[in-house]
Structure 1
Amino acid sequence: MLRVVSYCLSAVLGATMLMSPTQTAHAQYRFETEEIALVFCAYARDNETQRLQYKLRELRIRMRDVYSSIRCNGASLIQFAMKSNSQDIGSFIARSVTLEGLRTMDDYRWARENGYLDTEIGETLKFRFENDLN
């Protein structure tokens, strides 16, 4: 009986020790992701297309893979770029993201309803949606 209790306690202790580093690593990854989102928002605000491209290469990620998870003051990166009048970076992002990603964030409708379709970013969005073969 004592052997069974001892075995169970060591199994629980071992499992707990294995789970703790995983939870810590997840929290650290989440913090880094939030920090990266903050950097991307700053680049969008400042119209820093080259710096954004460099950071994407450095992190070995594509804009289309992270676009839907980044929000800047409650707006998508494209919406935030439009509000900030950051035409270069907004157009770059609009060309880089898949149509599905743009639809998910509802960027085209938002631009139309808020009067941004006549901007360079709006023109890029219009072109992407009008030339969609689906």
Structure 2
Amino acid sequence: MKFKFVALVATAVAAQFVAPVASANDQLAQSICAYVADNNKNNLRKTLSDNRLRLKAVYDGISCDGLPLVRFAIKNNAADTAEFIIKQLPGSQVAQSGDIEWANSNGFAASPILEVIKARSAS
């Protein structure tokens, strides 16, 4: 009987610590999305630095309005932020992303961000 009570208390305590971590991650992702939408490269860089994160490590885990960060930047015409993001990612990942095809098929063929993607894909 004592074991069940201890296990129940331990589970309740663990649940209290898991929820704030998930909330903090969600808040961080929302901040990153907001900085990309606002084309605020400096705040994006500062947020990543303050949280000791490398963009290439968290890139696949963040989506804004259901889009990867680069596509979200293209959609919001956030050229400075998109260039920063693209330069932080491995060239092979940028080349395989399909962002150029996505942009062309969604009406963003004239975006200057595509030139940055092409340059990074070639390196």
Offset at residue 104 of structure 1 (A): 7.5
Counterpart selection for 1:85 from 58, 77, 83: 77
* Cα distance in 1, alignment partners of residues 96 and 2 from structure 2: 48
- Aligned 8 A contact 2:70 2:82 in 1: yes
Letter in 2 for 1:98: P
- Aligned 8 A contact 1:44 1:77 in 2: yes
User: What whole-Å deviation, never above 9, does each CA across 1:48-99 have from its counterpart, x for those lacking one?
Assistant: 0011111111111111111111111111111111111110001110111234
Identity %: 28
Tell me the SS of whatever aligns to 1:60: coil
Counterpart selection for 1:55 from 44, 47, 53: 47
Q: CA separation of 1:101/1:15 partners in 2, compared to 1, >3 Å: closer, same or farther?
A: farther
The yes-or-no answer on 1:65 pairing with 2:65 is no
* Cα distance in 1, alignment partners of residues 93 and 52 from structure 2: 19
Number of residue pairs the alignment of both structures matches: 123
What TM-score comes out, normalization by structure 1 length? 0.79
Offset at residue 109 of structure 1 (A): 3.4
The yes-or-no answer on 1:113 pairing with 2:105 is yes
* Cα distance in 2, alignment partners of residues 55 and 41 from structure 1: 11
RMSD after superposition:
2.1
* Cα distance in 1, alignment partners of residues 60 and 122 from structure 2: 21
* Cα distance in 2, alignment partners of residues 85 and 76 from structure 1: 14
Name which one, 1 or 2, has greater alpha-carbon Rg.
Answer: 1
